[in-house]
Structure 1
Amino acid sequence: MSKLEFNIVEIPEGESRRTVGLTGEDLDMSPYDFKGAEIDLHFYRTIHFIRVNFRVDAEVELTCDRSLESYIQPVASDYEVLFKVDVQEETENEEGAVRRFNFSSNTLSIEEEVRDTIMLNIPIKKLHPKFLDEEGNPREFETRKYGEVEEETEQIDPRWEKLKKLKN
């Protein structure tokens, strides 16, 4: 049983809270190097549904696209999962998901939702923090030239020159 799988009978009626700490071995985040996370869970249980709100604070080691240096990317995000008895079709969007109870195991799991929440908050363009300004925007590249710069003279192909003379 994973750290993000809970027995329904162990969740008390009404509101309750838990904090779960994850290590790199607890969650498969391939191809990224997952360092760990702390997940604050807020359960609200009634006879008809269980609502799970969670906040993920995680760290993932990434490789910078510009310098190929490794760095730690913090990830923080909130999500909500609603487990209901009478759900015909499971749905999800960027704020939350609606799932049906798994009566056969009498458990509910939010492992997939936690993994997806972290994965969706990893930036597409991975940039080491040293390349960002105070507001988090990328700094301009500094271009350097080595050696002497040759002046570029516009050379015209001699065949074009002969064609221009024929035209005149």
Structure 2
Amino acid sequence: MARIVVVSQSEDSRSKLVKLLASSGLQVFRSCSSGSELRRALSESEDCVVVMVGYTPDCKPDELMWDYKDSIQILLIAKQPVLDNIESPEIFRLAMPASGQAVLGAVEMLSQLHRMRLPRRTGESKDIVDRAKAVLMKQKGLSEPEAHRAMQQYAMNHGMKMAEFAAQILKKAEE
């Protein structure tokens, strides 16, 4: 299941949305009040469905989709004039006021779409990543989750696939 991240400047909107999703058995990974908080949450996970109620000044939905296009799905719940200004066709829009059933249906649909488009590691690339993690664990004294996270962050920050970065680690370790 994709991780769900709820974003709204309004504490009331966030808590109502989290309760709605939880009542339907959907677990919320993070609840964020700002764009910077959202970006930190996205850096911790590769598979997110972002549910935005309106948007924060420091995080416009179009910019977010541009930055994270391959790793997120966005549901924007807002008033119609706001929705009309969204340019990205990949952003799913829901006009306010929206019923709880409409929100749940949209989140479930986006979770399924997200699962279908997530790339799966091949056996070979998984092996490369695992060997690179072992190198980092040995050289830096990291635990397996710490090594995985370090590789994931570096790859994401440098716009590369984790397997590509893992291959670089292995190449340097052989030198």
Q: Considering fraction of residues, name the structure with more helix.
A: 2
TM surpasses 0.5: no
Q: Considering fraction of residues, name the structure with more strand.
A: 1
Larger Rg: 1
Q: TM-score, normalised by structure 2?
A: 0.30
Q: TM-score, normalised by structure 1?
A: 0.31
